[in-house]
């Protein structure tokens, strides 16, 4: 096997490792969610199996494996079985396109080869992630129509109408980010966010030494809109109308059980991880450690170890946002459906439009001599 | 070599999904096959070094238009239509394939005519690569008037839809 | 072109993983035995009588068609935002701002029309 064969092997291993990382985070997140909700509601939560109840989810997974295989007779077999598989694909593909750490170089057969710390490197990063996430509605529609149950169908319709409504606010808040960075590529965005806060004011450069050059300082309104829209996109509380148990039993996965149900969970947590990773990449500098990256690189020396350390930094930021997702779920009550649609179309969309125009005007005013005339 | 191989994968996906659209008796399944065809076309665009167009194809057609189609199919109860002569059986499948074949024959003959006349089909390798930046520069300078007219056209669509949904007999009737 | 191979490989890996999970659980689970109640469509305690393929509200259709229009408008803003700073650097900052301002004004006019005509009301 030559150098190029080894290169392909490393790329495949990397791809599988990143996918397994995503799948392995799900049980941990479910544990955090159950323990965290218990903590918030002054209960104990699962604490019997293993230390702090950590192996509870392992036991649950084994139980899921040995559940009876069941398909409702009115369901459409292909759609019913395809829905859980389709549910995990968009999240995995979108997560694969996000750089999780600094690229590293390895010496293969005497020559240095550079590897990106992501499944595949794309120049059009954001647009690819948006396109793939817009396919997420199909898992819901497959499950809703394929189950042959009216609760499933209603849940799926609500979920997809909600997803497409909030996709508008999501897309528009990304336009503001594009105006600031002027690139589709995640790598170039992270590079632009390194170093101290600096910008041009009327042609004069201004540097603020004690703040990192993060996107949140340029797009505070865009951050709020993006964050709120991702809650709706991932169907998490307070936007979890599709599974409002008082009205719709369990929404689109009413007729699912066992491991197939668990796969919908993997899909949901996968979307949450993608949303958190995007938030970190757009607004919080990605894998960059503010004021410390260069020092760490010099202290470590090895390119691969440096990537691993930066990956830990990235995962730390992502886990913080995942915890906020969980925290919000157990704090805020659920919206009513008309309130949800009103918020999406009549509040967030106008504000996102305002954010786009305001960002464009400010970028012109700060960067050019002529102003707007 | 790889790109030829990948072209055949996506071409096969598109063609078989298209056949599924024609031949499946259930309208919902037809729509889902159309989604697969759209994804196949997006893959072809990606293979032609136009990833932005591919992503737009997925977002607009697979992500938005097909969701609308599915909603429309679910709004109308299509059971009665499902029993029609054009939905089941060898005769209806024969007719569908016949008409689709006639249409693609028309398309193919016009393409072949164009090649025999002008002699190009394979993209010019020396032509500049597709870049979103070039697209934007052309769109916002040379074609800026067309771009603004397009904005006006896109304004007409929601107004017309709402006006239609409010005429007598609709659920939004006043 | 190079990037599509890893995307296809990852799709294949994920799809195989998912199908394997569904298949393995169907082997390991206990065998089915038929009971009438288990095989009815889920209903809150009553025998299911309504057809599951009931029709849906026309509002979903309106939402979807409005979404398509606004989605296309937002997609047109992407190339604009991408090249915005290049236009400014070339000295056409005001021009490129007003080009999109007109477009966004039309967008906003459509949105205000929708809200005023109560097409977005869910009750």
Which position has the higher pLDDT, A314 or B78?
Answer: A314
Contact A69 C26 (CB under 8 A): yes
Q: Which two tokens stand for residue A10?
A: 């490393």
Is C38 an 8 Å CB contact of chain A? Answer: yes
**Is the predicted pLDDT of residue A238 greater than 50, yes or no?**
yes
Which position has the higher pLDDT, A150 or A188?
Answer: A188
Q: Mean pLDDT in each 10-residue stretch from start to end of chain B (174 residues)?
A: 83 90 80 90 85 87 85 67 58 80 88 75 59 82 87 86 66 47
CB A106 within 8 A of CB A117: no
Is B2 an 8 Å CB contact of chain C? Answer: yes
- Name the residue among C60, C75, C100 with its Cβ closest to that of A360: C100
Contact B67 A124 (CB under 8 A): no
Q: Which two tokens stand for residue A159?
A: 């979920």
DSSP state letter for A108 = E
Residues of A in contact with B64 (CB under 8 A): 134, 164
Conformation bin of residue B136: beta by default, left when phi > 0, alpha when psi is -120 to 50: alpha
Output the pLDDT for position B12: 92
ipTM of this complex: 0.82
Residue written as tokens 């509601």?
A41
Q: Which two tokens stand for residue A346?
A: 């009549």
* Secondary structure percentages of chain A, helix, strand, coil, to 5: 65, 5, 25
| Residues pairing with A114 in the sheet | A105
pLDDT, tens digit, 9 for 90 and up, residues A92-108: 888 888 888 877 777 77
Residue written as tokens 């129509």?
A145
Residue C48 pLDDT class (50, 70, 90 cuts): low
Q: At what angle do helices A136-146 and A125-134 cross, to 10 degrees?
A: 10
CB A208 within 8 A of CB A217: no
DSSP state letter for B60 = I
Tell me the C-alpha distance between A279 and C111, whole Å.
Answer: 27
A&B contacts, CB < 8 Å: 52
Please name which of A304, A297, A263, A158 lies closest in space to residue C18, comparing C-alpha atoms: A263
**Is the predicted pLDDT of residue C44 greater than 60, yes or no?**
yes
Q: Which two tokens stand for residue A304?
A: 């691969």
Conformation bin of residue A83: beta by default, left when phi > 0, alpha when psi is -120 to 50: alpha
- Average pLDDT for A143-167: 80
Contact C66 B74 (CB under 8 A): no
Is A124 an 8 Å CB contact of chain B? Answer: yes
Q: A48 preceded by cis ω (within 30°)?
A: no
- Name the residue among C56, C83, C109 with its Cβ closest to that of B133: C83
Please name which of C68, C58, C71, C65 lies closest in space to residue C121, comparing C-alpha atoms: C58
Beta carbons within 10 angstroms of residue A369's beta carbon: 8
**Is the predicted pLDDT of residue A23 greater than 70, yes or no?**
yes
Output the pLDDT for position C1: 47
**Is the predicted pLDDT of residue A36 greater than 80, yes or no?**
yes
Output the pLDDT for position A1: 43
Q: Which two tokens stand for residue A217?
A: 């300082």
Range among A234-248, A267-281, A330-344, C104-118 rated most confident: A267-281
Chain A (280-339) residues lying within 8 Å, Cβ to Cβ, of chain B? none
**Is the predicted pLDDT of residue C79 greater than 60, yes or no?**
yes
Is C28 an 8 Å CB contact of chain A? Answer: yes
Angle at A270 between CA A169 and CA A214, to 5 degrees: 55
Q: How many residues does chain C have?
A: 123
Residues of B in contact with C64 (CB under 8 A): 64, 67-68, 71
Within 8 A by CB and 6+ apart from B142, the residues are none
- Average pLDDT for A235-263: 73
CB C40 within 8 A of CB A78: no
Distance from CA of B19 to the nearest CA of A (A): 18
Residues of A in contact with C75 (CB under 8 A): 171
Tell me the C-alpha distance between A105 and C19, whole Å.
Answer: 35
- Lowest-confidence pick of A26-40, A146-160, B104-118: A146-160
CB B95 within 8 A of CB B86: yes
Residues of B in contact with A131 (CB under 8 A): 42, 54-56, 58-59, 63
Which position has the higher pLDDT, C66 or B87?
Answer: C66
Q: Which backbone phi and psi does A216 adopt, to 5 degrees?
A: -65, -25
- Name the residue among C24, C52, C93 with its Cβ closest to that of A364: C93
Within 8 A by CB and 6+ apart from A92, the residues are A19, A22, A270, C10, C14
Tell me the C-alpha distance between B93 and B100, whole Å.
Answer: 10
Distance from CA of B99 to the nearest CA of A (A): 29
* A340-360 as b/e: b if 16+ CB within 10 A: bbbbbbeebbbbbbebbbebb
Tell me the C-alpha distance between C17 and C11, whole Å.
Answer: 10
* Secondary structure percentages of chain C, helix, strand, coil, to 5: 65, 0, 35
Tell me the C-alpha distance between A226 and A348, whole Å.
Answer: 10
Which position has the higher pLDDT, C42 or B80?
Answer: C42
Contact A134 B51 (CB under 8 A): no
Report yes or no on whether pTM surpasses 0.95: no
Chain B (88-107) residues lying within 8 Å, Cβ to Cβ, of chain C? none
Contact C41 A74 (CB under 8 A): yes
Q: How far is CA C59 from the centre of its chain?
A: 16
Tell me the C-alpha distance between A275 and A234, whole Å.
Answer: 8
Tell me the C-alpha distance between B66 and A283, whole Å.
Answer: 32
Across all residues in chain A, what is the average pLDDT?
81
Which residue of B lies nearest to A159 if distances are taken between CA atoms?
B67
- Average pLDDT for A27-51: 83
Output the pLDDT for position B174: 43
Please name which of A94, A101, A165, A91 lies closest in space to residue A126, comparing C-alpha atoms: A94
Contact B51 A130 (CB under 8 A): no
Contact C8 B6 (CB under 8 A): yes
Q: Which two tokens stand for residue C57?
A: 């509200």
CB A228 within 8 A of CB A172: no
Tell me the C-alpha distance between A330 and A310, whole Å.
Answer: 31
Beta strands in chain B (DSSP E): none
Residue C65 pLDDT class (50, 70, 90 cuts): confident
Contact C106 B60 (CB under 8 A): no
- Name the residue among B56, B133, B152 with its Cβ closest to that of C82: B133
Q: Which two tokens stand for residue A356?
A: 């786009």
* Secondary structure percentages of chain B, helix, strand, coil, to 5: 75, 0, 25
- Name the residue among C13, C26, C42 with its Cβ closest to that of A149: C42
Tell me the C-alpha distance between A355 and C104, whole Å.
Answer: 12
CB C25 within 8 A of CB A259: yes
Angle at C15 between CA A249 and CA A59, to 5 degrees: 55
- Name the residue among B58, B67, B71 with its Cβ closest to that of A131: B58
- Lowest-confidence pick of A170-174, A349-353, B156-160, C11-15: B156-160
Q: Which two tokens stand for residue A91?
A: 């999240």
Contact A184 C114 (CB under 8 A): no
């Amino acid at each position: 096997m030559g150098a190029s064969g080894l290169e392909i092997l490393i790329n495949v291993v990397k791809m599988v490792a990143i996918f397994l990382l995503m799948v392995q985070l799900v049980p941990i997140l479910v544990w955090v969610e159950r323990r965290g909700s218990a903590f918030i509601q002054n209960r104990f939560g699962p604490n019997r199996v293993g230390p702090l109840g950590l192996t509870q989810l392992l036991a649950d997974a084994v139980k899921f494996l040995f559940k009876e295989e069941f398909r409702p007779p009115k369901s459409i077999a292909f759609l019913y079985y395809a829905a859980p598989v389709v549910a995990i694909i968009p999240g995995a593909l979108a997560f694969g396109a996000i750089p999780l750490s600094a690229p590293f170089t390895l010496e293969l057969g005497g020559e240095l080869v550079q590897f990106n710390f992501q499944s595949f490197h794309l120049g059009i990063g954001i647009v690819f992630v948006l396109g793939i996430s817009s396919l997420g509605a199909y898992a819901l529609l497959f499950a809703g129509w394929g189950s042959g149950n009216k609760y499933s169908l209603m849940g799926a319709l609500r979920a997809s109408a909600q997803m497409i409504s909030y996709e508008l606010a999501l897309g528009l808040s990304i336009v503001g980010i594009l105006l600031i960075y002027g690139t589709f590529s995640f790598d170039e965005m992270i590079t632009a966010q390194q170093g101290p806060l600096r910008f041009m004011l009327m042609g004069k450069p201004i540097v603020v030494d004690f703040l990192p050059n993060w996107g949140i300082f340029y797009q505070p309104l865009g951050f709020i809109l993006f964050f709120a829209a991702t809650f709706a996109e991932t169907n998490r509380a307070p936007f979890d109308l599709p599974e409002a148990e008082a009205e719709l039993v369990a929404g689109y996965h009413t007729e699912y059980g066992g491991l197939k149900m668990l796969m919908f969970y993997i899909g949901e947590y996968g979307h949450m991880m993608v949303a958190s990773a995007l938030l970190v990449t757009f607004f919080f500098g990605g894998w960059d450690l503010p004021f410390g990256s260069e020092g760490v690189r010099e202290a470590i020396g090895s390119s691969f170890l440096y990537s691993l350390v930066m990956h830990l930094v990235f995962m730390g930021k992502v886990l913080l946002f995942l915890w906020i997702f969980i925290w919000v779920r157990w704090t805020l009550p659920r919206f009513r459906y008309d309130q949800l649609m009103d918020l999406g179309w009549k509040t967030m969309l106008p504000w996102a439009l305002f954010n786009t125009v305001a960002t464009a005007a400010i970028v012109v005013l700060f960067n050019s001599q002529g102003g707007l005339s | 070599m790889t790109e030829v191989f990948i072209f055949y994968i996506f071409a096969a996906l598109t063609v078989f999904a298209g056949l599924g659209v024609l031949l499946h008796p259930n309208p919902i399944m037809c729509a889902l096959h159309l989604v697969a065809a759209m994804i196949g076309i997006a893959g072809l665009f990606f293979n032609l070094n136009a990833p932005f167009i591919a992503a737009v194809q997925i977002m607009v057609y697979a992500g938005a238009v097909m969701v609308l189609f599915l909603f429309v199919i679910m709004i109308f109860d299509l059971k009665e239509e499902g029993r029609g002569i054009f939905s089941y059986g060898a005769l209806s499948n024969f007719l569908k394939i016949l008409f689709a074949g006639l249409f693609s024959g028309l398309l193919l003959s016009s393409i072949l005519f164009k090649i025999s006349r002008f002699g190009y089909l394979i993209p010019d390798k020396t032509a500049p690569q597709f870049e979103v930046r070039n697209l934007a520069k052309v769109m916002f300078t040379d074609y800026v008037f067309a771009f603004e007219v397009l904005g006006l056209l896109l304004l007409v669509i929601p107004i017309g839809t709402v006006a239609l949904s409010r005429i007598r007999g609709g659920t939004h009737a006043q | 072109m190079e990037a599509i191979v890893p995307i296809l490989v990852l799709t294949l890996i994920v799809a195989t993983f998912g199908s394997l999970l569904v298949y393995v659980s169907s082997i390991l689970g206990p065998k089915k035995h038929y009971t009438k109640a288990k095989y009815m469509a889920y209903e809150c305690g009553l025998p299911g009588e309504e057809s599951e393929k009931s029709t849906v509200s026309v509002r979903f259709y309106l939402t979807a068609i409005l979404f398509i229009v606004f989605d296309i408008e937002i997609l047109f803003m992407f190339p604009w935002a991408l090249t915005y700073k290049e236009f400014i650097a070339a000295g056409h900052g005001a021009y490129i701002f007003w080009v999109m301002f007109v477009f966004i004004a039309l967008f906003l006019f459509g949105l205000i029309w929708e809200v005023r005509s109560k097409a977005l009301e869910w009750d």
